[in-house]
Amino acid sequence: MKHSIKYWAFKLKYLVALAIFVVAIGFVGENCLVNRIGQQQEIAKLKGEIDEYNRKFEKDKATLDALKHDPDAMKEVARSRYYMKTDNEDIFIIEEEDE
């Protein structure tokens, strides 16, 4: 039995409408699912960076607190970060070359 196009259009109208809806939501527009997945990955990456900066902040805050209250901490920071020395010692800096 041969059916006309009108018959098939009427019979499959909900399936066609559903397919158009899925394509529109999934792939077309600014808020499509593909963009949303990319945005979620970017958010996860940025949250990781925020955690890293918070750890650095806490470490620097502890160092600053130690510098304010402990005079030996100032010597330690000066020696480790700025390679300063006292009058009666020598400092040798050894850098390894990577191949």
Domain that holds residue 47: 5-82
Is position 97 within any domain? no
Q: Considering the chain, what is the average pLDDT of its residues?
A: 85
Domain count, the chain: 1
Query: Which pLDDT does position 59 carry in this prediction?
Result: 93
Q: pLDDT by residue (tens digit) across 28-74?
A: 877 788 888 999 999 999 999 999 999 999 999 998 898 888 888 88
Is position 92 within any domain? no
Residue 16 clears pLDDT 90, i.e. is over it? no
DSSP, residue by residue, 33-97: HHHHHHHHHHHHHHHHHHHHHHHHHHHHHHHHHHHHH-HHHHHHHHHHHH----TT-------PP
Residue 80 clears pLDDT 80, i.e. is over it? no
Is position 15 within any domain? yes
